[in-house]
Amino acid sequence: MAFFRSVSAFSRLRSRVGQQPSLANSVRWLQMQSSTNTDLYSEMKELVPEYQERVKKLKKDHANVDLGKTTLDMVLGGMRGMTALVWLGSAVDPDEGIRFRGMTIPECQKALPGAFPGGEPLPEAILWLLLTGKIPNKEQVDSLSQELRRRAKIPEYAYKAIDALPVSAHPMTQFSTGVMALQVESEFQKAYEGGVHKSRYWEPTYEDSLNLIARLPGIAAYIYRRIYKDGKIIPLDDTLDYGANYAHMLGFDDPEMLEFMRLYISIHSDHEGGNVSSHTAHLVGSSLSDPYLAFAAALNGLAGPLHGLANQEVLRWIRNVVKEFGTPNISTEQLSDYIHKTLNSGQVVPGYGHGVLRNTDPRYTCQREFALKHLPNDPLFQLVSKIKEVVPPILTKLGKVKSPWPNVDAHSGVLLNYYGLTEENYYTVLFGVARSIGVGPQLIWDRALGMPLERPKSVTLEKLEKLAGASS
């Protein structure tokens, strides 16, 4: 009976997202549905042995399966296309974009609980999904919300560590410093020093990851208020969910902004394992550095302009366009001239191009849909829409850009700016808070599955030339 109820719920979901249920999808969805525990830790305790068994079997029976060859181009080309990592939470298809545990963004928007019926997926729901592979119900998500609030207390010395930096320090420098200060309370480090058996590494990693995720909004909001609002701190509200609380502590209480924050955090959480921030966390964690150390390293990678800092760069670039012409209402020719000016000065057009995607990022599309619903007449949103028409043909004409299409960063800034979060230097901190929700679960699984020290082989230039049969 329960089976048939679930199948019909699945059919309803799929017809709402405009797809027919296939048997394989039904089975996958039913597997995802069977989440029963109200607390996440108990859910994990059940799942860990099952996943360990799967990995053991793969290693035992399929160790020599060929996953593709390594070419010289890959070694010199930033390892693009090289399959080198296992990442449980999500995968990116070049054309279709991100799937969180197999689910596209529109599917997540339909299936995951929101703050109200039909609301955007709650970050807590994404966290549950990424960690367990199961769709949580509202009760489970509410219990996780409560758990994160319970874990959110920040030690005083973390604020003091941030205060030791000048207010003028970049928000990402302050953020990474704050995370390093939180490391003092690492449960993993304590357990390791206490001689914990390796089969139990995942348990203190779980504690650290959940504490880290819970405390980041408070640290991040402190930095915002310190830099931009004369240090007037707003405490956590014990009635609000994770995304809403972060917005509230920043100083924003407009329900539309709260809803945007939930969407923002959910879609920025994870983007498979190879991106700079996630990969960095995984690499650093592989030496058994605890989640704080691993995540601070991830943030330092996110702070680069080719990765997370691009969202800051996009709004700055858009503002410069407006400054140049004195209005956001410019012609296609004016915009085209400005894009060429950027390219001719040896700079990239921020928010465009991607290491994996070869189509418009679905995270761009869902933010556009949000903007069309809530701020269709905003002049900067209209400029962003125009940029999307003008940039791709110009980048395509260069003949070298693999993807001329917009990525996630091309859109977020104008939405934040519309809701009053105008300080673009802060934007990557928001991204960082969100990324913890993807990185934390993988660190837990890395330790649960006994993932080894990561140590790929490098070659000298001479050896590469020799291997290629080229003369030096």
Ligand X SMILES: O=C([O-])CC(=O)C(=O)O
Ligand Y SMILES: CC(=O)SCCNC(=O)CCNC(=O)[C@H](O)C(C)(C)COP(=O)(O)OP(=O)(O)OC[C@H]1O[C@@H](n2cnc3c(N)ncnc32)[C@H](O)[C@@H]1OP(=O)(O)O
Provide the annotated active-site residues. Answer: 307, 354, 409
Kindly state the smallest distance separating residue 252's Cβ from ligand X, in Å: 23
Q: Does residue 355 belong to the site contacting ligand X (CB under 6 A)?
A: yes
H or E stretch covering 158: helix 156-163
Kindly state the smallest distance separating residue 363's Cβ from ligand X, in Å: 8
Residues found near ligand Y in the complex (CB under 6 A) = 306-308, 310, 343, 348-355, 395, 400-403, 407-409
Nearer to ligand Y, 191 or 387 (CB): 387
Q: How far is CA 345 from CA 334, 336, 339, 340, 348, in A?
A: 17, 14, 10, 8, 9
Tokens of 138: 């509202």
401 binds, among ligand X, ligand Y, none (CB under 5 to 8 A by kind): ligand Y
Judged by CB under 6 A, the chain residues 376 through 415 that form the site for ligand X are 407-408
Nearest residue to ligand Y by CB is 353
Kindly state the smallest distance separating residue 154's Cβ from ligand X, in Å: 26
Q: Between helices 379-398 and 332-344, what is the axis angle to 10°?
A: 50
353 binds, among ligand Y, ligand X, none (CB under 5 to 8 A by kind): ligand Y
Kindly state the smallest distance separating residue 291's Cβ from ligand Y, in Å: 21
Q: Does residue 279 belong to the site contacting ligand X (CB under 6 A)?
A: no
Judged by CB under 6 A, the chain residues 8 through 47 that form the site for ligand X are none
Distance from chain centroid for Cα 309: 13
The Cα–Cα gap between 114 and 323 comes to 39
Nearest residue to ligand X by CB is 275
411 binds, among ligand Y, ligand X, none (CB under 5 to 8 A by kind): none
203 binds, among ligand Y, ligand X, none (CB under 5 to 8 A by kind): none
Q: Does residue 271 belong to the site contacting ligand X (CB under 6 A)?
A: yes
Long-range contacts, 152-158 (Cβ 8 Å, 24+): 152/214, 152/215, 152/217, 152/218, 152/236, 153/215, 154/182, 154/215, 154/218, 154/219, 154/222, 155/181, 155/182, 155/184, 155/185, 157/181, 157/184, 158/182, 158/215, 158/219
Question: How many other C-beta atoms lie within 10 A of the C-beta of residue 81?
Answer: 16
Nearer to ligand X, 149 or 411 (CB): 411
Nearer to ligand X, 317 or 338 (CB): 317
If you compute the radius of gyration of the chain from its CA atoms, what whole number of angstroms results?
23
User: Position 317: which residue type?
Assistant: W
What is the DSSP code (8-state) at residue 199? Answer: G
Nearer to ligand X, 356 or 414 (CB): 356
Kindly state the smallest distance separating residue 408's Cβ from ligand X, in Å: 6
Q: Does residue 356 belong to the site contacting ligand X (CB under 6 A)?
A: yes
351 binds, among ligand Y, ligand X, none (CB under 5 to 8 A by kind): ligand Y
Nearest to 210 by CA among 445, 41, 429: 41
Kindly state the smallest distance separating residue 271's Cβ from ligand X, in Å: 3
55 binds, among ligand X, ligand Y, none (CB under 5 to 8 A by kind): none
The Cα–Cα gap between 292 and 388 comes to 37
223 binds, among ligand Y, ligand X, none (CB under 5 to 8 A by kind): none
Nearer to ligand Y, 211 or 269 (CB): 269
Kindly state the smallest distance separating residue 182's Cβ from ligand X, in Å: 22
Instruction: Name the β-bridge partners of 99.
Output: 91
Q: Could you tell me if 300 and 284 are in contact, meaning their C-beta atoms sit under 8 angstroms apart?
A: no
Nearer to ligand X, 218 or 274 (CB): 274
Q: Does residue 275 belong to the site contacting ligand X (CB under 6 A)?
A: yes
Is residue 156 exposed (0-12), middle (13-18) or buried (19+ Cβ within 10 Å)? exposed
Tokens of 230: 């004369």
Q: Does residue 368 belong to the site contacting ligand X (CB under 6 A)?
A: no
Nearer to ligand Y, 402 or 463 (CB): 402
Nearest to 375 by CA among 321, 416, 341, 428: 416
Q: Could you tell me if 218 and 154 are in contact, meaning their C-beta atoms sit under 8 angstroms apart?
A: yes
Interface residues with ligand X (CB under 6 A)?
271, 275, 355-356, 407-408
